[in-house]
Amino acid sequence: MQEVAEEAFRNLKNLPEFSYLKDKTLSAHKLRHTFGTLKVQEGVDLVTIQELMGHSSLNTTQIYTHVKDEQKQKAMRSGNVAQFF
């Protein structure tokens, strides 16, 4: 997987429309973090993200995702939280 990702990143960096990536360090690991974080930001639940990433533990999935404070605030303001109280 890592070799495939590295080759893809090299090819991507050589495309004129992605010249801004030339000085960036890209890796499969960063790609996984980005994928998990974007899915959380899109509102996908962690169990689904866990399945998509192939993790056996939800704890592992949480490591790969980053939730911003405003996302937490939005979740608390939504009507979905009230059903638990």
| pTM of the shown model | 0.64
Residue 41 belongs to a domain? yes
Task: Quote the domain boundaries for residue 50.
Answer: 2-79
Residue 43 belongs to a domain? yes
pLDDT, tens digit (0-9, with 9 covering 90-100), for 38-81: 888 888 888 999 999 999 999 988 887 777 777 777 777 776 55
Band of residue 37 on the pLDDT scale cut at 50, 70, 90: confident
Could you please report the per-residue DSSP string of 29-65? HHHHHHHHHHHHHTT--HHHHHHHHT-S-HHHHHHT-
Residue 39 belongs to a domain? yes
What is the count of structural domains for the chain? 1
